[in-house]
A and B are shown apart, each in its own frame.
Chain A
Amino acid sequence: MSVVLKLSRPNRIYRPSEALEGKIVVKAQSSISHYGIRLNVKGSVNLQVRGGSAGVVESLYGVIKPIPILNRTIEVKPSGKISPGTSEIPFSLNLSQQDENSERFYETFHGANISIQYLVTVDISRGYLHKSLSATMEFIVESNKADLLQRPLSPEMVIFYITQDTQRHPLLPELKSGGFRITGKLSTQCSLSGQINGELTVETSAVPIHSIDLQLFRIESILLGERIATETSLVQTTQIADGDVCRNFTLPIYVVLPRLLTCPTTLAGPFSIEFKVAIVISFQSELSKMNKKSDPKTPRLWLAMETLPLELVRTK
Chain B
Amino acid sequence: MKQHAIHRQELYLFSRNTEGQQNCGGLASVVTLCIFLVQVSAKNRQNTEILLLWLPNASMEFRPRSYSAEYESHALPRVRADTHPFCAPPAPLAQVGAVDCKNTDFFDPLRGTDNNAKATSPDDYNLNEAYDHQPTKEWTSFRRLLMQKFPVSKMVSLSSMPDVLMRSGKLHEKSSTNIHLEELDDPQKFADEGVKTITWQEYVSRLHELKDEITRSWLAEDRVTSLRLSIKVAKLLTDTSVCEFYPTLFVLVTDIMDMLGDLVWQRIKQKAEFTEDGDLCCNLAENFEASNICADAKETCYNWFSKIGAVQELLPRIYLELAILPCWRFLLDQPLGSLRRLVMMTRGLGDPVASAYCRLYMAYRGQKLLSHDIGYLVTCVNDIRVILMQILSANERTHQNVKLIKNLQVSLMEPTIEYIMKCIFNGLSQRQVNEVLSELGLMKNQQDLGTVSCVSIVLHHLLKELPIEVVSSNVVQILHLIEFSKDNSFDQHMNYRLLGFRLCEWKSPVEIVNAVVDKVIQVIAQYDSLDKYLKVVDAYADLILQNQMDELLNTILEGISKRARNKGVTEDEMPSLQSLLVKLLSHFKCLEDVFSLDWFPEILNVMYGKPQDVVFLHILDMATRDSHISDPMSIQLIFEISRTLHDNMEFMNVKDDDSQVAHSISRFVHMVDCGAEMERHLAFLVDCRGAFGRLNELKETLVHSSNCLAIRALKSAEKHLSFIKSCITFSEVTIPSISVQKQFDLFLETAEVALLGGLVSHTDGLIDSAISCLHTLDIIDGFRTPADVDRLVSSIRKLCGFLIMVPGNFSLPVTYFPNNLFTLISSQSWFEPKMRTHVFSAIILLLTTLSQKRLPYHANTQIPGNDILYYGNSTYNQELVSLSKLVLENLISAVQQEPSQAARGIMALEACNCIASSFMVSKELSSVCLSLIETAKSCLSVQDRYLHSTIQHLNKQSTTFPGAMVSTFVS
Are B348 and A251 in touch, CB under 8 angstroms? yes
Are A238 and B312 in touch, CB under 8 angstroms? yes
Q: How far is the CA of A195 from the CA of B193 in the complex (A)?
A: 35
Residues of chain A within 8 A of B351, CB atoms compared? 242-243
Are B344 and A244 in touch, CB under 8 angstroms? no
**Interface segment, one of A15-23, A49-57, A122-130, A252-260:** A252-260
Q: How far is the CA of A244 from the CA of B189 in the complex (A)?
A: 17
**Interface segment, one of B178-186, B367-375, B678-686:** B178-186
Are A10 and B347 in touch, CB under 8 angstroms? no
Distance from B178 Cβ to chain A, minimum over Cβ atoms (Å): 14
> What is the interface residue range for chain A against chain B?
20 to 34
Q: How far is the CA of A153 from the CA of B105 in the complex (A)?
A: 92
Are B348 and A293 in touch, CB under 8 angstroms? no
Distance from B406 Cβ to chain A, minimum over Cβ atoms (Å): 14
Contact flags A4-47 to B (C-beta < 8 A → 1, else 0): 00000111000000000000000000000000000000000000
Residues of chain B within 8 A of A292, CB atoms compared? 187, 189-191
Are B315 and A242 in touch, CB under 8 angstroms? yes
Are A249 and B185 in touch, CB under 8 angstroms? no
Are A234 and B184 in touch, CB under 8 angstroms? yes
Contact pick for B193, options A236, A289, A293, CB 8 Å: A289
Q: In chain A, what residue has the closest Cβ to B240?
A: A243
Contact pick for B309, options A244, A249, A256, CB 8 Å: A256
Are A242 and B306 in touch, CB under 8 angstroms? no
User: Is A239 located at the chain interface by the 8 A CB criterion?
Assistant: yes
Residues of chain B within 8 A of A293, CB atoms compared? 185, 187
User: Is A240 located at the chain interface by the 8 A CB criterion?
Assistant: yes
Chain B contacts with A in 280-319, Cβ cutoff 8 A: 295-296, 299-300, 305-306, 309-310, 312-315, 317
User: Is B145 located at the chain interface by the 8 A CB criterion?
Assistant: no
Are A242 and B299 in touch, CB under 8 angstroms? no
Contact pick for A209, options B299, B341, B350, CB 8 Å: B350
Are A251 and B345 in touch, CB under 8 angstroms? yes
Are A249 and B349 in touch, CB under 8 angstroms? no
Residues of chain B within 8 A of A244, CB atoms compared? 350
Q: How far is the CA of A246 from the CA of B344 in the complex (A)?
A: 12
Are B348 and A258 in touch, CB under 8 angstroms? no
Known: A11-B299, A236-B180, A293-B185. A246 touches B310 (CB 8 A): no
Are B296 and A10 in touch, CB under 8 angstroms? yes
User: Is A94 located at the chain interface by the 8 A CB criterion?
Assistant: no
Distance from A290 Cβ to chain B, minimum over Cβ atoms (Å): 9
User: Is B390 located at the chain interface by the 8 A CB criterion?
Assistant: yes
Distance from A139 Cβ to chain B, minimum over Cβ atoms (Å): 14
Are A256 and B306 in touch, CB under 8 angstroms? yes
Are A245 and B348 in touch, CB under 8 angstroms? yes
Are A237 and B309 in touch, CB under 8 angstroms? no
Known: A242-B315, A243-B349, A289-B190. A236 touches B344 (CB 8 A): no
Contact pick for B310, options A9, A236, A243, A289, CB 8 Å: A236
Residue pairs across A and B with CB atoms within 8 Å: the count is 87
Known: A236-B310, A256-B305, A256-B306. A246 touches B184 (CB 8 A): no
Are B183 and A242 in touch, CB under 8 angstroms? no
Residues of chain B within 8 A of A255, CB atoms compared? 309
User: Is B387 located at the chain interface by the 8 A CB criterion?
Assistant: yes
Distance from A79 Cβ to chain B, minimum over Cβ atoms (Å): 31
User: Is A167 located at the chain interface by the 8 A CB criterion?
Assistant: no
Main secondary structure of the interface of A (DSSP, over half): strand
Are A243 and B312 in touch, CB under 8 angstroms? no
User: Is B238 located at the chain interface by the 8 A CB criterion?
Assistant: yes
Are B183 and A246 in touch, CB under 8 angstroms? no
User: Is B386 located at the chain interface by the 8 A CB criterion?
Assistant: yes
User: Is A171 located at the chain interface by the 8 A CB criterion?
Assistant: no
User: Is A273 located at the chain interface by the 8 A CB criterion?
Assistant: no
Q: In chain A, what residue has the closest Cβ to B350?
A: A243
Are B309 and A246 in touch, CB under 8 angstroms? no
Contact flags A266-296 to B (C-beta < 8 A → 1, else 0): 0000000000000000000000010011001
Contact flags B161-205 to A (C-beta < 8 A → 1, else 0): 000000000000000000010011101011101000000000000
User: Is B465 located at the chain interface by the 8 A CB criterion?
Assistant: no
Q: How far is the CA of A234 from the CA of B184 in the complex (A)?
A: 9
Distance from B229 Cβ to chain A, minimum over Cβ atoms (Å): 20
Residues of chain B within 8 A of A10, CB atoms compared? 295-296, 299-300
Q: How far is the CA of A9 from the CA of B387 in the complex (A)?
A: 48
Contact flags A67-110 to B (C-beta < 8 A → 1, else 0): 00000000000000000000000000000000000000000000
Distance from B786 Cβ to chain A, minimum over Cβ atoms (Å): 70
Q: In chain A, what residue has the closest Cβ to B389?
A: A246
Distance from A315 Cβ to chain B, minimum over Cβ atoms (Å): 16
Contact flags B343-374 to A (C-beta < 8 A → 1, else 0): 01101111100100000000000000000000
Residues of chain B within 8 A of A132, CB atoms compared? none
Residues of chain B within 8 A of A234, CB atoms compared? 184
User: Is B469 located at the chain interface by the 8 A CB criterion?
Assistant: no
Q: How far is the CA of A314 from the CA of B348 in the complex (A)?
A: 30
Known: A11-B299, A249-B386. A242 touches B184 (CB 8 A): no
Known: A236-B310, A258-B310, A289-B190. A242 touches B348 (CB 8 A): yes
Supplied contacts A209-B350, A239-B348, A292-B191, 18 more A-B pairs, CB within 8 Å: A213-B312, A236-B310, A237-B184, A237-B312, A239-B317, A242-B238, A242-B313, A242-B350, A243-B349, A244-B350, A245-B347, A245-B348, A249-B347, A252-B345, A254-B345, A255-B309, A261-B180, A293-B187
Give B contacts to A, CB under 8 Å. Answer: 180, 183-185, 187, 189-191, 193, 238, 295-296, 299-300, 305-306, 309-310, 312-315, 317, 341, 344-345, 347-351, 354, 383, 386-387, 390
A-B contact pairs, 26 of them (CB 8 A): A10-B295, A10-B299, A213-B312, A234-B184, A236-B180, A236-B184, A237-B184, A238-B317, A239-B314, A241-B348, A242-B315, A244-B350, A245-B350, A246-B347, A246-B386, A246-B390, A250-B347, A251-B347, A252-B341, A256-B306, A256-B309, A259-B306, A261-B180, A292-B187, A292-B189, A292-B191
Give A contacts to B, CB under 8 Å. Answer: 9-11, 195, 209, 212-213, 234, 236-246, 249-252, 254-256, 258-259, 261, 289, 292-293, 296
Q: Which 4 A-B pairs have the closest CB atoms?
A: A243-B350, A256-B309, A241-B348, A239-B314
